Structure 1
Amino acid sequence: MWRKWGGLGRRLLPDFSERIEHFILTRVPTHVFLNSRQRQHAVTYQAMDVKVLHVIPSISPLRGGPSQAAIEMVGALRTHGVEAEIVTTNDHGPDLLDVPLNQRIEYQHVPVRFFSRFSPSMHAAREFAFSHQLTTWLWHQVRNYDLLHVHAIFSYPSTIAMAIARQKQVPYINRPLGQLCEWSLQQSARKKQTYLQLIERSNLNQSTALHFTSHQEHQETKRLGLKTPGVVLPHGLTLAPAIPNARQRLRQQFNLPADEPIILFLSRLHPKKGLDYLIPALGKLRHYRFTFILAGNGSPEYETEVEALLRQYELSDRTCRAGFVTGEKKDLLLQGSDLFALTSHSENFGVAVLEAMAVGLPVIVTPGIALAAVVAEHQLGLVPRLNAEAISFAIDHCLSHPEQRREMGDRARQLVLAKYTWKQVTAQMQQTYAAIRQQKPLPVFD
């Protein structure tokens, strides 16, 4: 049947949708391993060898935290004895990664197989990340793995991986990346609801488990009535080495006074991130001395909107644009700043928040960010409502109380070391894999 798909990349999306719908809706269901009654009993999990294939549409750095988290997750699993690898496309936003294709290579110290992404001029078709080569490889190779860990939904590589796993009766987990949360489903709502009902709901219902990264994401997804049990496993973190004199070096880099307070935003520039609340909030605090560092990039259209907001609220002269940053440049921003702010409408976790906490930065986050509950419970920063007045008040409080700010940052660092390094998260993930292999109830973690 796959021969029929050879020219698929040259066809229009409606024809593609009909073909993928026909395939996915006519395959054989796999056995559903777990039920609610089983979960009521205490269970021990025997350590065992397991070979896990992680499937994700893209691991381009342009795709943000979830892609980097998948790479780090696989690296950590391999360090702890799990035979894990990644298959993905060569997606790189509007472009393509310059990597070898159709072969296993070492990429950022983990084994990865890249396959060619269909790259038409139409943005929606390109973002769907269709790959005939990936499809063919999965069809022939998926039974060589004990388990698939599929990252994302509403994207061709993830959808087809789950469909093929079901056809070949290989168990799989799905990590939906917050795409089942209410705010996300409201974006392009008709298209997503149609895709969910016709294709993805069946894939999700017949997965062995749904991997949520926060209890908030788990709770939001329950309203959809999916039958699959969920397990909450947070993102882990690889701690960056300390940079000597980071505060001094950061201020020298941007030609700022040695004692200049710095407020950092570090994330993708997208309407979801709430800059239309954060920037007006900062505009109310112009009587304070501070510099706002805006790190990240987005579409040209949205970056133009952000620039207009900065001018409107008279912040252009005290805003430094750092662009997209990685590695030591990113570490320097985090370690040299005084306060981290992310005012998103919705985040199923918030990797950048965790990175800020890890270096001892107090954080200003809004309730839509899953880590906000942790921040509030442990007093690691402040959690204002998503409006400019409340955000401004929270930032004002932090700038006015440097000692309290330091104490919040110290608690944040200690919590990350205790609960969110890859060592802790990987141990929980291994228990989850063992439960699936042994057809036992999924573990429940605090």
Structure 2
Amino acid sequence: MKVLHLVPSIAAVRGGTSIAVIEMVKSLRAIGIDAEIVTTNDNGKTLLDVPLHRLIDYEVEGEKVPVRFFPRFSPPIHAMREFAFSGSLTIWLWQHLRDYDLMHVHAIFSYPATIAMTIARQQNIPYVNSPHGLLCQWSLQQGAQKKHIYLNLLEKANLFGAKAIHVTAMQEQVEIELLGWSLKTIVRPLGLQIPPAIADAREQLHRMLDIPSQVPIMLFLSRIHPKKGLDYLLPALGKLRDRHFAFVLAGSGDPEYEAALEQLLQAHHLGDRTYKLGFVTGIKKNICLQGSDLYVLTSHSENFGVSVLEALAAGTPVLITKGVALAELVRSQQLGWVVDLEIDAIAAAIAQSLDQPQVNQQIGDRAAKYIAEHYTWNKIAVNLQQLYI
């Protein structure tokens, strides 16, 4: 079976979706599906330095995946650049989409995704769409008027034309059902490649940050964006500043928003205990995940939350808000804390975690075992194969 995965960007700066698509294709190829990626050379404010128009073996952390890149039109206007227009991608899709048995489209409200589904409908090529949270209520409320027009003029027909709408959690399925469209949604979670355990990760992280070994570390590791609820998390941490802890902020985002967060850190007297690492990958990322005492993600909305899964796989308890789609998993399996997006609730849960280090260890051990049994990419790939047939 030959499957084409289309995604507007696979740049790491675009966050979890880009990473998930790469891992998805790797795992599908491992079980015998001829899967490829087609995308643009988008890299946020810049462009990836990659060969264009031809299939290449694109290397990510030592592993290769077949990718075909096309140039993204790059005007200085932010909104147009984010739309990732690509004329040559359009032409290629029109000429070659028939070479594939099925297309899996990742995202909506983006030129590559919209034009790909439109061409597939015209050529009667089956396709699956993964909206990756873009049909959830919080996302639809951002730029609501423009999205309403876009949905009704273009995307609604594409969504109804899909073989299935692939959602990654029951919570995302429920939110899509609120639209009242009766779309055919099928739940298939994302997975992860579990990195090897680092025996002294906690000691390494404390040494790396020059933090005394007895000081617990709270970790936020995600894209820095207003969606992530840091304007709730930082005041919550500020309420606990008489307690011993360090806060690691690992991620990158818009410079203006990062500057606003810096002001928030200072306002809540957290500057002397906050360690800003920027975007981290590889061994440094694994040390952060495995060496921290609590992973925190206080998002307004997450259609899945790959970083939460990574923390659990690393044996680190998590504190997440109800808008994170993995909340039910964390609650039902007792893998951490699930709270309202409310400052006092977040602060109370963090305080509870600080008060029970031995319980945290038990939670972490249980989490690592559960994720290894249920959420590796090899297991997820088989589920996706059944979706394609």
Task: Confirm or deny a common fold (TM above 0.5).
Answer: yes
Question: Among 28, 32, 55, which residue is 1:81 paired with?
Answer: 32
Distance, in Å, in 2 between the alignment partners of 1:202 and 1:330 is 41
Q: Does 1:329 align with 2:284?
A: yes
Structure 2 counterparts to residues 5-44 of structure 1, below 5 A: none
Instruction: Name the SS of the counterpart of 2:367 in structure 1.
Output: helix
Question: Among 285, 296, 311, which residue is 1:356 paired with?
Answer: 311
Q: Does 1:91 align with 2:42?
A: yes
Give the CA deviation at 1:162: 0.2
Give the aligned partner of residue 273 of structure 1.
Answer: 228
Q: Does 1:401 align with 2:366?
A: no
Give the aligned partner of residue 69 of structure 1.
Answer: 20
Contact 2:177-2:183 within 8 A present in 1 as well: no
Distance, in Å, in 2 between the alignment partners of 1:241 and 1:104 is 31
Give the aligned partner of residue 256 of structure 1.
Answer: 211
Give the aligned partner of residue 181 of structure 1.
Answer: 136
What amino acid is the match of 1:96?
L
Give the aligned partner of residue 156 of structure 1.
Answer: 111
Map Cα deviations across residues 87-117 of structure 1 (whole Å, 9 max, x no partner).
0000000100000000000113110000000
Distance, in Å, in 2 between the alignment partners of 1:396 and 1:332 is 23
Give the aligned partner of residue 6 of structure 2.
Answer: 55
Give the aligned partner of residue 387 of structure 1.
Answer: 342
What amino acid is the match of 2:273?
R
Question: Among 228, 232, 236, which residue is 2:187 paired with?
Answer: 232
Distance, in Å, in 2 between the alignment partners of 1:393 and 1:162 is 46
Give the CA deviation at 1:228: 3.0
Give the CA deviation at 1:145: 0.3
Distance, in Å, in 2 between the alignment partners of 1:281 and 1:214 is 28
Give the aligned partner of residue 433 of structure 1.
Answer: 388
Distance, in Å, in 1 between the alignment partners of 2:127 and 2:183 is 11
Instruction: State TM-score, norm by structure 2.
Output: 0.98
Contact 2:219-2:247 within 8 A present in 1 as well: yes
Q: Does 1:199 align with 2:150?
A: no
Give the aligned partner of residue 214 of structure 1.
Answer: 169
Unaligned 5+ segments in structure 2 are none
Map Cα deviations across residues 115-151 of structure 1 (whole Å, 9 max, x no partner).
0000000000000000001001000000000000000
What amino acid is the match of 1:82?
I
Distance, in Å, in 2 between the alignment partners of 1:82 and 1:119 is 34
Structure 2 counterparts to residues 109-124 of structure 1, below 5 A: 109-124=64-79
Instruction: Name the SS of the counterpart of 1:170 in structure 2.
Output: coil
What amino acid is the match of 1:78?
R
Map Cα deviations across residues 349-396 of structure 1 (whole Å, 9 max, x no partner).
000000000011000000000001110111100111111100000000
Give the CA deviation at 1:152: 0.1
Instruction: Name the SS of the counterpart of 1:365 in structure 2.
Output: strand
Instruction: State TM-score, norm by structure 1.
Output: 0.86
Q: Does 1:105 align with 2:56?
A: yes
Distance, in Å, in 2 between the alignment partners of 1:251 and 1:422 is 31
Question: Among 372, 377, 390, which residue is 2:332 paired with?
Answer: 377
Give the CA deviation at 1:245: 1.3
Give the CA deviation at 1:178: 0.2
Distance, in Å, in 1 between the alignment partners of 2:278 and 2:261 is 13
Q: Does 1:142 align with 2:113?
A: no
Map Cα deviations across residues 57-77 of structure 1 (whole Å, 9 max, x no partner).
000000001100000000000
Distance, in Å, in 2 between the alignment partners of 1:332 and 1:404 is 21
Distance, in Å, in 1 between the alignment partners of 2:181 and 2:388 is 21
Distance, in Å, in 1 between the alignment partners of 2:83 and 2:256 is 21
Please list every run of at least 4 consecutive aligned residues from structure 1 whose deviation after the TM superposition is greater than 6 angstroms: none
Give the CA deviation at 1:259: 2.1
Question: Among 279, 296, 302, which residue is 2:257 paired with?
Answer: 302
What RMSD in Å do the two structures reach over aligned CA positions?
0.8
Distance, in Å, in 1 between the alignment partners of 2:95 and 2:72 is 19
Instruction: Name the SS of the counterpart of 1:323 in structure 2.
Output: coil
Map Cα deviations across residues 295-322 of structure 1 (whole Å, 9 max, x no partner).
0011111001110110000000000001
Distance, in Å, in 2 between the alignment partners of 1:385 and 1:316 is 25
What amino acid is the match of 2:44?
G
Distance, in Å, in 2 between the alignment partners of 1:243 and 1:259 is 19
Instruction: Name the SS of the counterpart of 2:339 in structure 1.
Output: coil
Distance, in Å, in 1 between the alignment partners of 2:317 and 2:133 is 24
Distance, in Å, in 2 between the alignment partners of 1:138 and 1:207 is 17
Give the CA deviation at 1:285: 0.8
Distance, in Å, in 1 between the alignment partners of 2:297 and 2:249 is 11
Give the CA deviation at 1:227: 3.8
Give the aligned partner of residue 369 of structure 2.
Answer: 414
Give the aligned partner of residue 17 of structure 1.
Answer: none
Give the aligned partner of residue 129 of structure 1.
Answer: 84
What amino acid is the match of 1:103?
R
| Structure possessing the higher radius of gyration over alpha carbons | 1
Distance, in Å, in 2 between the alignment partners of 1:101 and 1:323 is 29
Unaligned 5+ segments in structure 1 are 1-49, 435-446
Give the CA deviation at 1:418: 1.5
Distance, in Å, in 2 between the alignment partners of 1:155 and 1:221 is 18
Distance, in Å, in 1 between the alignment partners of 2:254 and 2:42 is 16
Aligned length: 385
Distance, in Å, in 1 between the alignment partners of 2:241 and 2:213 is 19
Question: Among 372, 379, 387, which residue is 1:424 paired with?
Answer: 379
Instruction: Name the SS of the counterpart of 1:100 in structure 2.
Output: coil
Distance, in Å, in 2 between the alignment partners of 1:91 and 1:226 is 32
Give the CA deviation at 1:223: 1.6
Give the CA deviation at 1:260: 1.8
What amino acid is the match of 1:116?
P
